[in-house]
Amino acid sequence: MIEVENLCKIYGSTPALQDVSFSVEPGEILGFLGPNGAGKTTTLRILSGYLPATSGTAKVAGYDVHEQSIAVRQRIGYLPENPPLYPEMTVESFLYFVARIKRVAAGDRKANVETALKKCGLWERRKSLIRKLSKGYRQRVGIAQALVHDPPVIVLDEPTVGLDPRQIIEVRNLIKSLAGDHTIVLSTHILPEVSMTCNRVTIINRGQVVATGSPETLMEELTAGSGYQLELDSAVDPEKLTVFEQIPGVRSLQYLLEPQENRTQLQIFCEPNTEPGPEIVAACVSCGFNLYEMRRTRASLEDVFLQLTTQQTTPEETVEPENIGENDSATPEVQPSPEDSQPLDEKPDTIDNNQQDDEPDSTP
């Protein structure tokens, strides 16, 4: 339903997208995930026919977004990050207005507006002035205007930003209820949004796609999948820790904290679909390690995201067993925690709205 190939976008001298490629199957919800400034909005605007790409191609339902932008706009519903709503109109009259400018045939408008109102849970509010609605309801109106011409594809840019937790759940459920009938691309920098809502995810960072797959596949392929955290007596000779490396299924070791006076905390990373817990315990017993605590750890999408989008997490930072044995005094690396990186739900001022902007008006 959507085919994006080698998309590049340069704003003035700022490269915003470099060779972005991905596809979306009919009925899917694709999560388009990336930190602030990664290039999500730029991609979605190009996809919706509102912004020309510098190079590359994008097709929606077989139509080229550049060459056949009218046909694309008829088949795509776009909810921008700040949807242009008209506060002095009622919900219903606004949707009639949008239906008209989206060229819905006069005879079909009533049915289309009613369907969009009902799908978005706005029927009871159809006579309300938009300015009197809560932010959550206004976001529903934004989604309804994206739906009113019944497009096969819906593109939603950060649809839950600024909503309270209850509104977020409602909007997420609304989005999920639209999948199947519609193909959806959902841009977000909020991780739970993706695992809760999307079948597949494309992670973008600094204008480049760094991973694509189902949330589960990404977790399996890009991280150790699962592992164990161990707390041992610090008297353990670091060289002896290499015993863990011999265990089938163990991929690597990492100190979690600098060894304390009386404790050593380790992370053991394992290959996907392996459970070497019993062997790890047996190794502790046979080597005489004093084991104070052992618990399972499971990789989360957040781990994948941080691994792919932060500079701190590089392969060199993983302390291989040899390294642990080679240099007892080496300062162990601490695995970056989410707190180490930029909060994911904060939006820094990375976008200069006064910078060059060559897009046409995105008013519906």
Ligand X SMILES: Nc1ncnc2c1ncn2[C@@H]1O[C@H](COP(=O)(O)OP(=O)(O)OP(=O)(O)O)[C@@H](O)[C@H]1O
Give the interface size with ligand X as a residue count (CB under 6 A).
Answer: 18
Task: Indicate which single residue of 31, 37, 56, 151 sits in contact with ligand X (rule: CB under 6 A).
Answer: 37
Task: Provide the minimum distance between the beta carbon of 53 and ligand X in the complex, in angstroms, as a whole number.
Answer: 12
The nearer residue to ligand X, 12 or 248, going by C-beta atoms, is 12
Task: Provide the minimum distance between the beta carbon of 352 and ligand X in the complex, in angstroms, as a whole number.
Answer: 6
Interaction mask 8-27, ligand X, x per CB under 6 A: ---x--x-x-----------
Q: Is 82 in the site for ligand X (CB under 6 A)?
A: no
223 in the Ramachandran plot: left (φ > 0), alpha (ψ -120 to 50) or beta? beta
Q: What are the distances in angstroms from CA 279 to CA 84, 245, 286, 296, 318?
A: 60, 11, 10, 14, 22
Q: Is 38 in the site for ligand X (CB under 6 A)?
A: yes
Identify each DSSP E strand in the chain by its residue range. Answer: 2-11, 14-24, 29-33, 55-60, 63-64, 76-79, 153-157, 183-188, 200-205, 208-213, 226-233, 250-255, 263-270, 291-298
Q: Is 34 in the site for ligand X (CB under 6 A)?
A: yes
Task: Indicate which single residue of 311, 316, 356, 361 sits in contact with ligand X (rule: CB under 6 A).
Answer: 356
Do the beta carbons of residue 14 and residue 37 sit within 8 Å? no
Do the beta carbons of residue 80 and residue 89 sit within 8 Å? no
The nearer residue to ligand X, 162 or 272, going by C-beta atoms, is 162
Dist. CA 335–CA 339, nearest whole Å: 11
The nearer residue to ligand X, 329 or 350, going by C-beta atoms, is 350
The nearer residue to ligand X, 67 or 352, going by C-beta atoms, is 352
Interaction mask 171-200, ligand X, x per CB under 6 A: ------------------x-----------
Task: Indicate which single residue of 101, 351, 360, 363 sits in contact with ligand X (rule: CB under 6 A).
Answer: 351
Task: Indicate which single residue of 106, 331, 350, 361 sits in contact with ligand X (rule: CB under 6 A).
Answer: 350
Q: What are the distances in angstroms from CA 135 to CA 167, 224, 320?
A: 8, 40, 50
Q: What is the DSSP letter of 47?
A: H
Identify each DSSP E strand in 86-225 by its residue range. Answer: 153-157, 183-188, 200-205, 208-213
Give me the phi and psi of 306, to 5 degrees please.
-65, -40
Task: Provide the minimum distance between the beta carbon of 347 and ligand X in the complex, in angstroms, as a whole number.
Answer: 6
Binding to ligand X, residues 266-325 (CB under 6 A): none
Task: Provide the minimum distance between the beta carbon of 18 and ligand X in the complex, in angstroms, as a whole number.
Answer: 11
Binding to ligand X, residues 239-268 (CB under 6 A): none
Task: Provide the minimum distance between the beta carbon of 296 and ligand X in the complex, in angstroms, as a whole number.
Answer: 33
Task: Provide the minimum distance between the beta carbon of 304 and ligand X in the complex, in angstroms, as a whole number.
Answer: 17
Task: Indicate which single residue of 6, 18, 36, 242 sits in contact with ligand X (rule: CB under 6 A).
Answer: 36
Q: Which residue has the tokens 């790890």?
A: 280
Q: Which residues contact 361 (CB under 8 A, 6 or more apart)?
A: none
How many degrees, rounded to 5, is the angle at CA 292 between CA 289 and CA 297?
105
| CB-CB neighbours of 90 under 10 Å | 16
Do the beta carbons of residue 160 and residue 193 sit within 8 Å? yes
Among the listed ranges 116-124, 174-182, 223-231, 348-356, the one in contact with ligand X (CB under 6 A) is: 348-356
Q: Is 163 helix (H, G, I), strand (E, B) or coil?
A: coil
Task: Indicate which single residue of 39, 49, 225, 249 sits in contact with ligand X (rule: CB under 6 A).
Answer: 39
Q: What is the DSSP letter of 339?
A: G
Task: Provide the minimum distance between the beta carbon of 11 and ligand X in the complex, in angstroms, as a whole number.
Answer: 3
Task: Provide the minimum distance between the beta carbon of 158 and ligand X in the complex, in angstroms, as a whole number.
Answer: 7
Task: Provide the minimum distance between the beta carbon of 98 and ligand X in the complex, in angstroms, as a whole number.
Answer: 24
Q: Is 155 in the site for ligand X (CB under 6 A)?
A: no
Instruction: Determine which helix (DSSP H) or strand (DSSP E) holds 78, and give its type and residue range.
Output: strand 76-79
Residues binding ligand X (CB under 6 A): 11, 14, 16, 34, 36-42, 189, 347, 350-351, 355-357
